[in-house]
Amino acid sequence: MSLTKKILIALILGIVVGVGLNFVPTDVFSVIDKYALDPVGQIFLNLIMMIVVPIVFISIVIGTAGMGDPAKLGKIGFQTISFYLVTTAIALLIGLGVGFLFQPGKAGVFNVEESFEAESAPPIMDTLINIIPENPFEALSNGDMLQIIAFALFIGIALAILGEKTKGIYNLFEQANEIFIYLVNLIMKTAPYGAFALIASAIGNSGLDALGSMFMYMLAVILALVIHATVTYSFAIKVLGKASPVKFFKEFFPAMSVGFSTSSSSATLPVSMQIAQEKLGVKKSISSFVQPLGATINMDGTGIMQAVATVFISQVYDIPLGVTEILLIILTATLASIGTAGVPSVGLIMLAMVLKQVGLPVEGIALIIGVDRLLDMIRTSVNISGDAVCAYVISEADIRSEAKQSK
Ligand code: ASP
């Protein structure tokens, strides 16, 4: 049986078992979760997290060095950032549109008395300034993705310019890369078990009774996510990448399912890069630059949740949003998406920043926190798909322009 099929079965089984676990006594569930689901899920998660930092570092170094020309790096960098900004803005517009149309905050009775202590979001300027690490080894050991990317870019540029002189080190990185690609393949063999355990545990823990009053909100978020993935991304693949979106998503499915089960863009990165390079034919040098950057700064799915949540909270508290507020939401949610780390639930923390900016009560987060774990699974799949779509489109454009030049 193919890996995709196995993962699909694991996914469905995980959902069914997770829902079923909501009906067993709590103490029985805790034992099952503590001694079976949680350990299996955590081992899988640790296995992939173990290779994230080395893979990002090594692949960006060889990707940049392989591009050869710093001017080309600048061009690809510009295209990548533009693609990310435009798709995030479209995602936010879809989220806002669905929020206004569905009016999820008017659809039930909500307890607005709940309180919520917002953690403070890291100031966006600090994030930008600190992209250059003071101590690269600290960045590597803390897993600070933006800093790791910056450091790797510098090493890659140096290798490209020094050429023959540093050929030995370049080869070393190439060989290290082989090792990690082998490890991704190996670890992915355990994905069906890991995904099953993570999903069953997440759904078992989420308490389905919370879903009732939040049904319209969840539906709105999921609908906006589906529209963005099927319309925006398919359009990009079809028109800019000149390929079949169905084929793209079919090949990319295992990565989406890892995103779904881990709720972490960072953890999904090794798998999504491997599929992009080996199955979708994305150029290595482009995938290894575009996807790690995207897993760190491009979060369309998170933006959609934040847009719908903001509209939802404004409706529950009956505080209408004007044009200025809507523009502010687009601006701050885009910045929030850059500052959101690719790990579970951070999108919710960053939502506090958006709410504050438009003058909505941050306590509103208390209303959606109960269902956020489930939505995090779906939006993370969308987040990492957006990065792969960008890598695919840019790689295809590059292949076409190279073919043109050689004619
Ligand atoms: N879990 C998301 C990710 O890793 C971030 C978030 O929305 O919380 O992509």
Give the pLDDT confidence score for residue 115 in this predicted structure. 63
The ligand 1 atom nearest the CA atom of 383: 9
Q: Give the residue whose CA is nearest to atom 1 of ligand 1.
A: 344
- Lookup result for tokens 């290798």: 159
pLDDT at 272 exceeding the cut of 90:
yes
Across the range 87-107, mean pLDDT stands at 93
Across the range 228-247, mean pLDDT stands at 97
Residue to mutate, 266, 345, 374, ligand 1, most ligand atoms under 8 Å from C-beta: 345
C-alpha of residue 26 to centroid of ligand 1, in Å: 28
Provide the whole-model pTM. 0.89
Which residues are CB-contacts of 353 (< 8 A; sequence separation ≥ 6)? 121, 332, 335, 336, 339
Confidence tier at 144 by pLDDT (50, 70, 90): confident
Residue to mutate, 302, 334, 384, ligand 1, most ligand atoms under 8 Å from C-beta: 302
pLDDT at 390 exceeding the cut of 80:
yes
Q: Are 288 and 54 in contact (CB under 8 A)?
A: no
Give the pLDDT confidence score for residue 119 in this predicted structure. 62
Residue to mutate, 49, 88, 265, 371, ligand 1, most ligand atoms under 8 Å from C-beta: 265
Across the range 73-98, mean pLDDT stands at 95
The ligand 1 atom nearest the CA atom of 301: 7
CA distance 208 to 110: 17
C-alpha of residue 373 to centroid of ligand 1, in Å: 10
Give the pLDDT confidence score for residue 67 in this predicted structure. 79
Give the pLDDT confidence score for residue 122 in this predicted structure. 62
The ligand 1 atom nearest the CA atom of 349: 8
CA distance 307 to 327: 11
Greater pLDDT, 202 or 83: 83
Q: What is the dihedral of CA 82, 88, 139, 157, to 10 degrees?
A: -20
Task: Single out the residue of 2, 121, 384, 97 nearest to residue 10, CA to CA.
Answer: 2
Across the range 104-127, mean pLDDT stands at 69
Confidence tier at 109 by pLDDT (50, 70, 90): low
CA 289, distance to chain mean position in Å, is 15
Across the range 270-282, mean pLDDT stands at 95
Task: Single out the residue of 269, 346, 361 nearest to residue 305, CA to CA.
Answer: 346
Strands, E, within 114-265: which ranges?
Answer: none
CA distance 292 to 388: 10
pLDDT at 114 exceeding the cut of 80:
no
Which residues are CB-contacts of 266 (< 8 A; sequence separation ≥ 6)? 49, 52, 143, 145, 295, 296, 341, 342, 343
Helix (H) or strand (E) holding 285, with range, is helix 284-297
Task: Single out the residue of 387, 390, 226, 389 nearest to residue 296, CA to CA.
Answer: 387
Give the pLDDT confidence score for residue 203 in this predicted structure. 87
Confidence tier at 117 by pLDDT (50, 70, 90): low
Ranges 3-17, 53-67, 196-210, 225-239, most confident: 225-239
C-alpha of residue 354 to centroid of ligand 1, in Å: 16
Give the pLDDT confidence score for residue 183 in this predicted structure. 92
Confidence tier at 214 by pLDDT (50, 70, 90): confident
pLDDT at 197 exceeding the cut of 70:
yes
Q: Give the residue whose CA is nearest to atom 7 of ligand 1.
A: 347
- Taking CB atoms and a 6 Å cutoff, what residues make up the pocket around ligand 1? 263-265, 299, 302, 340, 342-347, 376, 379-380, 383
C-alpha of residue 45 to centroid of ligand 1, in Å: 15
Q: In this predicted model, what pLDDT tens digit does every residue of 326-355 receive, in sequence order?
A: 999 999 898 888 777 788 888 988 898 899
Confidence tier at 304 by pLDDT (50, 70, 90): very high
Lowest mean pLDDT among 100-114, 248-262, 286-300, 309-323: 100-114
Average pLDDT, the chain: 90
CA distance 109 to 356: 23
Across the range 131-142, mean pLDDT stands at 93
Give the pLDDT confidence score for residue 367 in this predicted structure. 87
Give the pLDDT confidence score for residue 146 in this predicted structure. 85
Give the pLDDT confidence score for residue 223 in this predicted structure. 98
Across the range 291-301, mean pLDDT stands at 93
Give the pLDDT confidence score for residue 71 in this predicted structure. 84
C-alpha of residue 28 to centroid of ligand 1, in Å: 30
CA distance 137 to 25: 47
The ligand 1 atom nearest the CA atom of 264: 4
Give the pLDDT confidence score for residue 141 in this predicted structure. 95
Report CA torsion sign: 261, 192, 47, 147: negative
For the residues of 39-65, what is the DSSP string, one character each? HHHHHHHHHHHHHHHHHHHHHHHHHHH
C-alpha of residue 341 to centroid of ligand 1, in Å: 7
